[in-house]
Every structure is written in structure tokens, then in C-alpha cells.
Chain A
Amino acid sequence: MRKKLLRVLLPGLIVAAAVALAACGGSSDSTSSSGDANSQFAAVTEPPSDAQQGGDLTVIAASDVDYIDPGAAYYQFTFMVTSATQSSLTAYAPGDIEKASPLLATGEPEVSDDGKTITYTLRDDVKFSPPVNRVATAADVKYAIERSLLPGVPNGFVQTYLSGVQGIDKAIKEAQDNPTGGAPDISGITAPDDTTLEIKLDNTTSIGVIGALSLPVSAPVPEEYAEKYDAENPSTYGEHQVATGPYMIENDSSGNLTGYTPNKEIHLVRNPNWKASDGDFRPAYLDDITIQEGFADTVSAAKKVLTGNGLVNGDFTTPPAAIKQAAQEGEEGQLSLTPSGGNRYVALNTQMAPFDDINVRKAVIANSNRVDLRNTRGGELTGPVATHYLPPDFPGFEEGGGLEGPDLDFIANPEGDPDLAAEYMKKAGYSSGKCEGDCKIVMVGDDSPPGSDTAEVVKSQLEQLGFDVDLQKVTHDIMYTKFCSTPSNAPQVCPNVGWLKDFNDGQSMLDPTFNGENVVPENNSNWPQLNVPEVNKAINDATLIDDQGERNQAWGDVDTMIGEQAPAIPYIWDDQANIQSADVAGVINKANANWDLAFTSLKP
């Protein structure tokens, strides 16, 4: 999802947009680190009371979904589609922050007293779209989860979050040994009847499992229809999928998607088998939704949305120039700023000199002017300056210190504190307060703005401390896959990393990124390679807490513990800037930080 993060937040590469970003970043003199300044653009999470039924909407997008297959979908923009076409067990309604609401399930999942069994009760009135046309059952959900273990359905998160489900290891092995042999059976997931789904766990990891099952992987898939597609590697079910939500991707009578052309268009029409019901919180006002892709220049795409009719932005965040225009000239409600649930930081490699010394790391953070770093991404309107890792509007955010941040001197001043930095350098043994002797540092950053701008600012900040920085610039993908995510080849500093939540739980934010046990030889996401036993333990313990309040506190504490280790310079919690045409009554799904198509309508 890093790559997807890139696509959500950095559809860069485009000179015009980049210039606009750089120019805007440079001109912003605001030093505010608060998100309050943007409250006038707060997201609307409820449709108007007189919302109009019908109408066509066009979503303007730069790129395509990651996988059209809901079983593999793992990207904000894809979730925008699946939230309209699928019915997962639970799902985040527009205003949901802490946890998801029941959708295919009739109510909250029940967790047994020992915390090791989760039981969902399913609605009996949800039908698959044509050509399947039958009622979806618990067995279809079991199949959906099982098929996501197939190598041909490259799901990026199930194996992580469902690792505590009984029998999953055996199922994973089975699928890998025989990729075209059909979905493997997970013994811990059973469907005793059509409306009951039971999940047995080895451990009390129910919150993580329930969280993961709020994602479209839990949307039912009819086995008798899908198995022939799943017998291929890669599976082609995505191109033949059926829907359980109010909308479906247009298809022909045999189920072939006619409404999807990769990189070009996704056309959603109403699902004739879907009916409004008490069990489904989605009003589904619109008749027809076209997602038009390929708008590489986000500046002109944003302008088109702002001046046009019936348009909203899709996968791209509005570039700063267009945000400014929308803020100043647009009609009320055309711009909305929503915390994206993501952070960005400069990772310091804790396993390599000189950053294996915590005092050097603290000095670097203390010295850093994080407002300058944020300005490289467009300044105040793009989000508050980060002080820790859990983002605003996220469970554990307040417990982790809120906007002010934890009580740590080296992170206290967003504009940096050179004197304090010098002190920490002295503690690290550099008597002059600056690095002396062999001060060579390798840094691998993006080769295109805004990432490359951030990298340059980081470089100059490190040079202030006497470091001799060798900045290598490569594409964003190469930066990750060849350098920062491959520990054996990782540089001392990775200035362009960041993380976007999977679902609203601290585990999805902090476990992959700071748990030392999760450092792997490739595709590593713990970029600072932080490996502190107390932190690891605190993270592992927190994943097992199944009381929401306690859990939030625990993740907040973990967040602070990580901050104390000074593994990185957190510098922004991105706000997602979403825009709509003046005639659209858009509703933002806060958890997805994007338009909720099933709630959006056209103004009467």
C-alpha cells in the first residue's frame, strides 16, 4: 500500500503540479501546527435531509484501482468503489471513526468471554447481482476469506491480521503448494447455517480480526460461480465479480465486466438485486457513477472538478494551488479537508551508525524544522505538523498526545531547537555540538517533487549538524523496493516514507512500522528498523486487548514509547483535500478520507 499511498497522495511526476507544489510550499509562511485553521473545511458526513434521488456522477481519477477483485482490494481509492458495490460484514459509515457499523451482519459481532470466538449473524436479504441472483450466505463469506489466501488473489493484509485464526497457517501452505487447486479450507472459520459465521482464534486478537473484516475481503463471493475463475493464477474473478452493494460494475449476461477498462474507466450502475432495507445504512441516491481515470495532471483535473458539473475527485489529493483556489473562490462545501489517517516521517536507521545512538537521533529531530518539511508538501492546508505517529481522528490519537504531542523536549518545537540539538550531540560525544570526523551519511529519496524537495530540506538540516550527506535520488517505487524496504541495502536516512492506516486501529498503524519482530529481509515496513524489546512487547500486548477503551490507551502509550526512541522525524499528518463540483452534495467517509459514493447525491 506504500505504492498506493504514493498514488493517493503523490500523483507527482507531473511538472505542472510539482511546480505548483513547490511554489506553494515555498510561499507559505504559516507556522501553525494546528489543524484547527482548517475546520471551516471540515468534512460533511451526512447527506442533506432533502437529498435528491437519481442523477449521474463522474469521479475524476489519476490512476486505476490496485485490484478490481474485492478480495485483493487494499487501497483507499479501491475502497471507494467497493464500499458502493460490496457488502462486507461490517463497514465504516461516513461518520464512523472508532469502529465499523454492521452491514452484511445484523449487528455487532459477538466475542466470546474467553475472547477467542467471534460470531457474526448475517442478514438473509442480501442478494448477489446478476448473473448469480441468489441470496448471499455465511458460506459465501467463508469462501471469500479463504480465497484471499490464494497466490492468485494477492491480498496484502489478511495473512497479517488474521494470523490468529485457527487453521490459517495450514490453509496458507495448502494454497501456496497448489495455487490453482481452489480456495483452501480454514478450519477456524465455519458457517453452521446460512446466517451464522463463526471464527475461532488461537488468541485474543479479535479486534484486529474484526477490523480486517471491515474491509471488502469479507464481502461474500459465490463459490459455485467464482471457483472456475479462482482456479486460474492470477484469478480472474475480479473481471467477473458480482456485487452485493447498491451498485455493481456494469457487466454482461455471463458476468463479464463491461464497465471496467484498466487505467481508463470503471462504470457503476445500480444493482437490480439490491433493495434499501433497515439493515443497510447506505441510501444510494445516484443512478449511475462513472469513474474516469488517467487525469495525470492533477492541477487541471482539480480545476475541471471545481468548475464543472456532477464531478468529484477520486484517487488524487487536490494539489495546493487548487486547494487555495477552492478555498478562496469556490462555493461553500466544494472543498473539504479530512485527516487521511496517514503520517509521513523521515526514518533514521537505528541499526547503523551514527543513528544507532539515540542521542544523535534526538539531536536530528530537535534540530529539524518540521514546518519547513511540511511546507515542501504544500503548507498548512495540507495538514498539521505531526508530533507523533497515530494521526488525528484516530483511536489512540488523544491518548498519544493529541496535536500537541507527547511530552518530549526534542519534538516540542515544530520549528526546531538548534541549542537543544547541540546538547544532544554533546551527549552523543560530539563535544562541539556538531558531527566531527567520519560524518558521511547516505540518504535515498524520491527523484520527483514533492518528495525530492522534502529530501533536499532534510539534507540541509542534517548538514547543519555537520553531517556529510550523500543524497541519492530514485523513483519512489525504487526507493522503497530496492533500498528502504530491503534492510540489507537500506541507507542511514529514508526521508520519504509514511504509512496509511488499513482500518481504524492502532495495530494497523504501529505494528508493521515499529515492531522489531516485523523487520523482514524484503518488503520491510519498519524503516527505522527499530527493535526495542519493550516496544515490541508493548505492541504485541496491545494487539491482544479486546476492550476498546483500554486498547486505545494502550496504543496511545505505544505511540509515546516509540516517540521516546526517536526513530524518525514525523512531520505531517496529511489532510486529504477532496473537492466536488458546486452541484454535488458530497458526503465524506471519514474512515476512508474520501467521497462515499453510496451517500453522495446531486443537489436538487
Chain B
Amino acid sequence: MSDSAHSAETLLSVEDLKVHFETDEGIVKAVDGVSFEVKRGEMLGIVGESGSGKSVANLTILGLTRASNATISGRIMFEGRDLTELGGEELQRIRGNEIAMIFQDPLSSLHPFFKVGDQLIEAIQVHRDVSKEEARKHATDLLGLVGIPDAKRRIGEYPHEFSGGMRQRVMIAMALANDPKLLIADEPTTALDVTTQAQILRLIERLREELGMAMIIVTHDLGVVAEVSDRVMVMYAGEAVESGTLDQIFYDPQHPYAWGLLGSLTRIDRPRTARLAQIAGQPPSLIRPPKGCHFRDRCPHAFEKCTEHPDLEARGGEAGHTDRCWIDPERKRELRVVSTGEIGLEAPEEVTS
């Protein structure tokens, strides 16, 4: 993991962000009071199941939560500006320029009717006053940078002529086009096969080191986080339930939900067991989440105290390691071990082979 000491300055600070959607069934609290910080050059991993609010939170940073029924509150401070207060044009200047984003599905994230070169050139020219020729040269360099061979030729091809991994490289190239200070990668490898995943992650890691930008990687897969992140935030039902350094989360997870995530992790350094742990039950309703701890219904260790809503705070772990679980830290250490050396929630009885 890279040395984050070269700059401790905060680049992005999200404070008590709430994103609520008004629907016929009620208010969907997709993001409900999330706070986090990203320092310059730092890589933050945000982990959670789908529907935990992690993607919405990040789209909101870029002002891409466009639904007319959304209400957004809280502050998103980026280099001294509150992004929630900015007008459309100011946001446009930040998007793709100071903050760039890459998305989950490279197959559908590129416009199928335009050549990749043109899509890159467009991304460059919208923020830089350069000629088309200069932009094209820059675009070719970018494709080379992200490891696309024969970039000169391929720049004239359409997205469907690229493989999934290659398309994600194009997406990354596009995101890097204007040397962003912050890159948000939303499930950048989920749609890819395992080999390609590894290649893309290595690429991201390499680029971050070369370019020194800060990054948020959003994923449901702790494995991805494990490879690249400095710090990790675990989200559940619109809230952060645990936050700490990568080592803290991996070696001393505090929240039973994090145990579940860790348990479901396929680890190549351990023999695969039939008892691959899963988290039983369904994610809670975001309209009427359980009172108290939102994870209570799925938690095998829930007790009376859990009907009270726990704050995100340090609870006996190292400094800066916060969580939302009422269980006594000592007890947690016993509970989270499933079998020797394995961390996770107790697997449900009916686990299938």
C-alpha cells in the first residue's frame, strides 16, 4: 500500500450526506447520514452489498443523482467548495476534470454509436481548449497509458469491437483524460472475468502510483479493496457501519456485517471449504429499516441493546477505527471466529454445497 504520508491534506470531505428519494411507497433513505474523508493521494475503499447506498453516495458527489424526486442534504466539501451548493455549469467543470468516475459495466458505459476515439476526444475538449488534433494525440497516448496495444488504430474503432476488459481500460483512459485529483471507481471490476479483474486492478494501482491521485473504489468485494485500498468504509442500509484502515478492517473487524463480508471472501491462501459463509437474510427495507441497529434482523448475535441505534464511534479498537455495534469488543473476538483462522459469521445451517 502506498505511502499516504506525503500529503495529509484532506481533498474531499463528505459530511452527514443524506440522499432520500420520495416514492409512492414512502421515502427511500438510500444514503442516510454518511460522513467520510479522502486525503490527497489516498485510496478509500467503500464496501457493501448492492443497495447499501455506496453507489448513490458517490454519484451524488459528482451531482449525478439527477432524479427529480431526490432530496440531498449534508455537505460535500471538495477543495474548499461545497459541491451540493454548486450550479450545473460549475459542477460540469469539475466532472471529468477534477473528479472523474468509472463505472461498473464497461459494456454499457460507452456510447455504442460513437468511436472510442471520439468519445475520448470529447472528454478532453470539453475541459481543455485544445485542437482536435492535439486531443486525438492525447487520446492515443491515454489508450497507450492504460495498456491498449495498437492505440493509433483502435482509436478509430467502436466500443463493440473491444473486449470487456479493453473497454474498461478505455473508460479508465477517459477518466484520466484531464488528470483528475480524485477518481471514483464504482465496481470497476465486477463485470469482468477473474483474470481481467486482476489486470484492471493492477492497472488502477499502477496508475494511482504514477499519477498520485486520490481514489475512491466502491465495491461489494472486499477482495478488491484488499488489493488496493489504504482505508476502508463498510456501508450497510445507507449508513457506514464500520470504518478503519485496511489492516484494521481485515484483521480486527468490529461489525458482524463486516465479518460476513470477510467470510464470503474467497481467499486463495486458504483451502476452500464447503462452509463458505454467507450472510443470511435480505438487506432491509430502506423505507422502514429496523429500529436500532439496521443489521439486527440478520445478525445471529443481536441482543436487547440492538434496538437502540448505535452511533459510528471508536469502541475499543485502535484510534480511527469506528463501528456501529453494541457488542462488547472482547466478545466480538470470540464470536467472529468460525473455525481456526477463519473470520466470518456463523454459516447458516442449510448451507448448500
A contacts B directly (C-beta below 8 A): no
A-side residues, CB < 8 A to B, are: none
